[in-house]
Amino acid sequence: MKHEQIIGFGIVGTGVVADFHRMAIDANADKGARLIAVSTRDPVKRQAAGKAFGVDCLSYESLCRHPQIDVICICTPSGYHAAQALAAAEAGKHVLVEKPMALTLDDADSMIDAFSRAGRLLGVALQRRAEPLFRSIFDAIRAGDLGILTSGIVTIPYHRPQNYFDSQAWRGTWALDGGGVLMNQGIHLVDLLVWYMGDPVETKAFGATLQKRIEVEDTVAAALRFSGGAMATITATTVAPPGFPHRLEIYGTRGGIQVEGEAVTRWSLVDAAAAVVVEPPELQVKSGAGAGGDPKAIPISGHVGLISNFMDALRGNGSLFIDGKEGRRSLAAVLGVYSAAELIC
């Protein structure tokens, strides 16, 4: 696929996250990205949704059959992801699916297999992997700048009011949300943790619904051990009003990196002069809770990077930042926490 060619996108789902995909597609217009059509499950809402997105709003079957659509962005409730992705693969479309890619590992494996057989790309929208900051941290770890990793800390002190869950019937349910704070909000940080430290080999955890009127957990705490002996902790809640920025910390035998929100607060090494990866030039914390207090308060840059990367991969210029196999890793880690906490059987 040549750079000059238009790459047509379709979006299924027309909620908040779908608008991030729309903006990211528009931001890649100079590379040939075009939003062709969107889809919603509710026929009554199709006219309004089409007007809001500025394109036709179709049934999902019609979206999959549309000859101008190369890539479908799946932005529906998580419980629909697997079936919709499999239908897209059967129709010969490439897919960028929102997190989590599925609710079970069996479904994730079915998706990976289907796209491999179809010869189509399957990407997962865990967009922090597309951000230069988080890619720099990965590069520093792999270069050995932090030495041998020893520990990691993820803290997610978010707030989601009850009306957030009440606004959509699927929110806070096992069947369509697949979990609570860790599956819905925390999986982005879990993804970074496994990307940096590897897949956990042992997990201990507690989880509960302390305050919200939902089926799934609103608070969870976990301890993870990795194959090399390193350990990490995860603490996450949606009951920390008014909401605070998440934190990620990675430590090794030669230094550590601390991140709050989307900014590095410390990048301290035993021998900075010998580092392969240079620390970010400006270390400062942005004010406000960001996604900790508002699910819409996330930077668009990550999604812009994902769409750009997807287009590059389609044209044969590199590989996906996070394909189905990589997207499966964070899902497995979250399900491991849920199993350890006896939240699921």
Q: Is the same domain home to 118 and 136?
A: no
Q: Is residue 311 part of a domain?
A: no
Boundary (domain end) residue, out of 98, 125, 152:
125
Q: Is the same domain home to 335 and 269?
A: yes
Q: Report the C-alpha gap between 91 and 210 in whole angstroms.
A: 44
Q: Which pLDDT does position 287 carry in this prediction?
A: 56
Q: Report the C-alpha gap between 228 and 140 in whole angstroms.
A: 18
What average pLDDT does the segment 55-73 reach?
Answer: 97
Q: Which pLDDT does position 345 carry in this prediction?
A: 58
210 pLDDT band (50/70/90 cuts)? very high
What average pLDDT does the segment 64-83 reach?
Answer: 98
Q: Is the same domain home to 100 and 137?
A: no
Count of structural domains, the chain: 2
Boundary (domain end) residue, out of 102, 125, 148:
125
Instruction: Report CA-CA distances (Å) from 152 to 114, 136, 142, 222, 248.
Output: 34, 17, 15, 12, 7
Q: Which pLDDT does position 328 carry in this prediction?
A: 98
What average pLDDT does the segment 67-78 reach?
Answer: 98
Q: Which pLDDT does position 44 carry in this prediction?
A: 87
Specify the range with the lowest mean pLDDT, choosing from 156-165, 206-215, 270-279.
Answer: 270-279
Q: Which pLDDT does position 223 carry in this prediction?
A: 98
> Strand order in 94-98's β-sheet?
56-58, 33-39, 7-12, 71-74, 94-98, 122-125
Both tokens of residue 108? 């994730």
CATH number of the CATH domain containing 57: 3.40.50.720
What is the Cα 215 distance to its own chain's centre? 22
Q: Is the same domain home to 234 and 109?
A: no
Q: Which pLDDT does position 281 carry in this prediction?
A: 56
Boundary (domain end) residue, out of 72, 104, 125:
125
Q: Does residue 192 surpass a pLDDT of 80?
A: yes
18 pLDDT band (50/70/90 cuts)? very high
If one counts every other C-beta atom within 10 angstroms of the C-beta of residue 223, the result is 16
Q: What does DSSP say about strands 122-125 and 94-98: parallel, antiparallel, or unpaired?
A: parallel
**CB contact at 8 A, 79 and 176:** yes
CA-based R_g, the chain, Å = 20
Q: Is residue 305 part of a domain?
A: no
Q: Is the same domain home to 75 and 145?
A: no
Q: Does residue 1 surpass a pLDDT of 60?
A: no
3-state secondary structure (DSSP) of residue 251: strand
Q: Which pLDDT does position 282 carry in this prediction?
A: 58
Q: Is the same domain home to 69 and 175?
A: no
CATH number of the CATH domain containing 285: 3.30.360.10
Q: Is residue 197 part of a domain?
A: yes
Q: Is the same domain home to 232 and 85?
A: no
Both tokens of residue 62? 């019609």
Q: Which pLDDT does position 43 carry in this prediction?
A: 85
- Which residues share a beta bridge with 149? 252
> What range defines the domain where residue 103 resides?
7-125
What φ, ψ does residue 104 adopt, rounded to 5°? -135, 155
Q: Is the same domain home to 331 and 203?
A: yes
H/E element holding 203? strand 200-208
Q: Is the same domain home to 181 and 252?
A: yes
Length of the chain, please? 345
Measured at the CA of 49, the angle between CA 48 and CA 51, to 5 degrees, comes to: 65
Q: Give the list of residues 6+ apart from residue 82 with CB closer than 8 angstroms, or none.
A: 101, 102, 103, 104, 107, 108, 110, 111
**CB contact at 8 A, 181 and 220:** yes
**CB contact at 8 A, 12 and 75:** yes
